[in-house]
Structure 1
Amino acid sequence: MELSLVRPDDWHLHLRDGDILQSVVSQSAKHFGRAIVMPNLRPPITTTAAAVAYREEILKALPPKSYFDPLMTLYLTDNTSPKEIKAARRSGVVYAVKLYPAGATTNSQDGVTDLFGRCLPVLEEMVEQNMPLLVHGEVTDPEVDVFDREKVFIDSTLRPLVQQLPRLKVVMEHVTTLDAVKFVESCAEGFVAATVTPQHLLLNRNALFKGGLQPHNYCLPVLKREIHRQAIVAAVTSGSKRFFLGTDSAPHERQKKECPCGCAGIYNAPVALALYAKVFEEAGALDKLEAFTSFNGPEFYGLPRNTSFITLRKKPWKVPDSYEFASGTIIPMFAGETLDWLPIVDS
Structure 2
Amino acid sequence: MTQLTIRKPDDWHLHLRDGAMLKGVLPHTSTHFARAIVMPNLVPPIVAAAQAEAYRGRIMAALPEGHNFVPLMTLYLTEETDPDDVEAGFRDRLVTAVKLYPAGATTNSQSGVHDIAKVYPVLERMAAIGLPLCVHGEVTDPAIDIFDREAVFIETVLEPLRRRIPELRVVMEHVTTREGVAYVRSQERNMGATITTHHLMINRNAILVGGIRPHYYCLPVAKREEHRLALREAATSGDRRFFLGTDSAPHVDQLKESDCGCAGIFTAFNTLSCLAHVFEQERALDRLEAFASLNGPAFYGLPPNEEHITLERLIEPVIFPKKIRTADGPVTTFDPMVPIHWIVSVAS
| Interval containing the TM-score (normalised by the shorter chain) | over 0.9
Partner secondary structure for residue 39 of structure 1: coil
Unaligned runs of 5+ in 1: none
CA distance in 1, matches of 2:340, 2:254: 26
1:322 to 2:339 alignment: no
1:28 to 2:29 alignment: yes
Q: Is the 8 A contact 1:12 1:247 kept in 2?
A: yes
Partner residue in 1 for 2:247:
248
1:142 to 2:164 alignment: no
The alpha carbon displacement at 1:81 in A equals 1.6
Q: Is the 8 A contact 2:273 2:341 kept in 1?
A: yes
CA distance in 2, matches of 1:231, 1:335: 18
| AA matched with 2:283 | G
Q: Which 4+ residue blocks in structure 1 deviate beyond 4 angstroms?
A: 335-338
CA distance in 1, matches of 2:127, 2:207: 39
Task: Among all aligned residue pairs of Structure 1 and Structure 2, give the percentage whose two residues are the same amino acid.
Answer: 54
Q: Is the 8 A contact 1:320 1:336 kept in 2?
A: no
Partner residue in 2 for 1:280:
279
The alpha carbon displacement at 1:210 in A equals 2.6
Q: RMSD between aligned alpha carbons?
A: 1.0
Partner residue in 2 for 1:164:
164
CA distance in 2, matches of 1:282, 1:210: 24
Partner secondary structure for residue 152 of structure 1: helix
Unaligned runs of 5+ in 2: none
CA distance in 2, matches of 1:262, 1:300: 34
Q: Is the 8 A contact 1:319 1:338 kept in 2?
A: no
Q: How does 1:179-218 map to 2 (within 5 A)?
A: 179-189=179-189, 191-218=190-217
Partner residue in 1 for 2:226:
227
Q: Is the 8 A contact 2:276 2:342 kept in 1?
A: yes
The alpha carbon displacement at 1:91 in A equals 2.3
The alpha carbon displacement at 1:65 in A equals 1.5
Aligned residues: 345
Partner residue in 1 for 2:87:
86
Q: How does 1:55-94 map to 2 (within 5 A)?
A: 55-94=56-95
Q: Is the 8 A contact 1:321 1:336 kept in 2?
A: no
Partner residue in 2 for 1:123:
123
| AA matched with 1:136 | H
Partner secondary structure for residue 318 of structure 1: coil
The alpha carbon displacement at 1:338 in A equals 4.2
Residues 79-131 of structure 1: per-residue CA shift (max 9 Å, x gap): 00211121111221210000000000000000001112x10110010011110
